[in-house]
Amino acid sequence: MTSSATTHHEPRIVIIGAGMAGILTAIKLREAGYRDYVIYEKTDRVGGTWRENTYPGIACDVPAHLYTYSFEPNPEWSHTFAEGPEIQRYFETVARKYDVLKHVRFNEGIPTCRFVDGRWHLETSTGRKDVADVVVAATGVLHHPHIADIPGLSSFKGAWFHSARWDHSVPLEGKRVGVIGTGSTAIQITSALVDKVARFELFQRTAQWIMPIENETFTDADKEEFRTNPARLAAVKKEADEYFQRFSSAVIDAESQEMKDIEAACLANLENNVKDPVLREKLRPNYRAGCKRLIFSSDFYTAIQHPNARLVTEGIECVEPGGVRTKDGELHALDVLVVATGFRADSFIRPTTVLGRNGVNLDDVWSDHPVAYLSISIPEFPNLFLLNGPNGPVGNFSLIQIAEHQVAYILQLIEEIRAGRCREIAPKREVTREFEAERTVAAKKSIWSTGCKSWYLDKHGVPASWPWSRDRFFEVMAKPELDAYERV
């Protein structure tokens, strides 16, 4: 039922998380004239994933000029693919420029959120209580480290840590370093470290397809041109955008020509750039390119052929005080062990306890797998909006582009509240069920469904991703269909 009330109501809005999406939300709320909003950030700095991940070699494999807010182009990017610290500086600069910082309460996480009497009651990690009309969860996707359950890991006598918890106090020079995993993270670490350590061992459980990229250095002259000629900057962005447009239409259709072209490029990369036939076979994946998140790298194959490097493909038996023992009985003696085994990709706003209408617990609602209407909102959890939430196009194209479209959509829902047309807005159960059923069918056609293991898959083996085109995503995000929502 839609209320006929027209009273203007200034809603209080809580944003959880001051990473890319939280900063963006604050900027867009201010732009839309909202005055009463706060960001709770559990740490002492903005930046999200770029603050947390500081491993050697960290970079974004989406071209920097595309991985940039549309309203804040950055002529200063140093390379096509910017490194982590440079991206972190970008977010800090934007947050300062748009006066976001004064809205951030640092070192305050949100352990609980309860919807009681039409409003969200939050308690922060410092015991502060807050009551809000709207909660925007900008809590990231690949956020909570997954530490592989490898027997004996805690017995290791050297230093060990997860890639997202890099211990910079541990010296690496002259050391024997092992890395477990061959995801995007481990591949970047490999390229960065092989020639800086005494010995580098990469423990590979599954080989990866590697898409070659060219990482251009932008000279001072390039940057000056970008500063003075916005059309040139826009052209660089457009080129990257068109590349990703092809990639995002390829991944949703395993049989597409674009996907076959990507596979051919990866295969040629392997054949042409790995000389030793034994190593080449070890690096050859036995599933289709793109089934796991594609790895973009200009230098991994060079790095793994470095005299210091060794690719270990025997399975890991256990970790012992002196190193990693593989199933063939060999002990790989190590001083430092990096666990680059990824993230728990289904957490989203959790571990926050979120209780919706009548105390319904989000953990129970999501006990099978996380579901959200258009990846943004959940029945019985009114006025709670998720950015980069479940089953969105994470990995299909720039996460910033995705978040910008989602924020624009969410602002239109919040406007319903501000304009007094309703006090609570949540998607209808039936609409959400139908959406999820349709999404599941489409997801089975995607490249992620072609028979590999990856963080894209839910426990039923269904890709937890947006299975349609980028254009369809943009169209859907352009204007909410209010009939899909229950408004009271």
Kindly list the residues in this chain that would bind ligand NAP in the complex (CB under 6 A).
Answer: 59-62, 142, 148, 150, 163, 180-186, 188, 205-206, 293, 316, 340-343, 395, 453, 455
Nearer to ligand NAP, 104 or 304 (CB): 304
Given the DSSP bridges, would you call strands 104-105 and 37-40 parallel, antiparallel or unpaired?
parallel
Which residues lie closer than 8 Å to 472 by C-beta, 6 or more apart? none
Q: Which two tokens stand for residue 34?
A: 């909202």
* Cα–Cα distance for residue pair 313/359, rounded to 1 Å: 49
Nearer to ligand NAP, 303 or 340 (CB): 340
CB 37 within 8 A of CB 100: no
* Cα–Cα distance for residue pair 181/208, rounded to 1 Å: 10
Q: How many residues does the chain have?
A: 488
Nearer to ligand NAP, 390 or 395 (CB): 395
Q: What residue is closest to ligand NAP based on CB?
A: 183
**Min. distance of Cβ 79 from ligand NAP in angstroms?**
12
CA distances to 13, 18, 105 from 42, rounded to whole Å, are 17, 9, 8
* Cα–Cα distance for residue pair 251/468, rounded to 1 Å: 9
Among left, alpha and beta (phi > 0; psi -120 to 50; other), residue 407 is alpha
Which residues lie closer than 8 Å to 293 by C-beta, 6 or more apart? 183, 184, 395, 454, 455, 456
CB 338 within 8 A of CB 161: yes
> Computed from CA positions of residues 464, 466, 468, 470, in that sequence, does the dihedral angle turn out positive or negative?
negative
Given the DSSP bridges, would you call strands 199-203 and 210-211 parallel, antiparallel or unpaired?
unpaired
**Min. distance of Cβ 341 from ligand NAP in angstroms?**
4
**Alpha helices for 10-150 (secondary structure H):** 20-31, 49-52, 84-97
The full DSSP string for 250-296 is HHT-TT-HHHHHHHHHHHHHHHHH---HHHHHHT--SS-TTSSPPEE
CA distances to 33, 119, 407, 435 from 105, rounded to whole Å, are 21, 20, 21, 36
Given the DSSP bridges, would you call strands 199-203 and 309-312 parallel, antiparallel or unpaired?
parallel
Place of tokens 């005055």: 35
Nearer to ligand NAP, 299 or 486 (CB): 299
Nearer to ligand NAP, 310 or 357 (CB): 310
**Alpha helices for 153-275 (secondary structure H):** 184-193, 220-228, 230-251, 257-273
E strands, 388-454, are 425-427
CA distances to 139, 280, 382, 405, 418 from 135, rounded to whole Å, are 11, 50, 9, 18, 14
